[in-house]
Amino acid sequence: MDNPHYVTPEEAKEKICPHKPNQMSIWCDGPKCMAWRWAKESVEYENGPFLQDIWRNSTTHGYCGLVK
């Protein structure tokens, strides 16, 4: 993904959570967190003779809703 704020759930586990800097578990919980947002991605599909773009949630990349 082109946006530098987008990470995979595995990469998110290496980030420090901005919401809980003084707690024992300071690492990002990725998609298990209420602040997690899945990235949007554009997908082309054929609709008769036309190509259309639709936006859908990514299944591989997301970001922290607290920092973006």
Task: Give me the average pLDDT of each 10-residue run along the chain (68 residues).
Answer: 83 88 82 92 74 82 86
Cα–Cα distance for residue pair 61/59, rounded to 1 Å: 6
| Predicted local confidence at residue 68, as pLDDT | 59
Count of positions (residues) in the chain: 68
| Predicted local confidence at residue 56, as pLDDT | 85
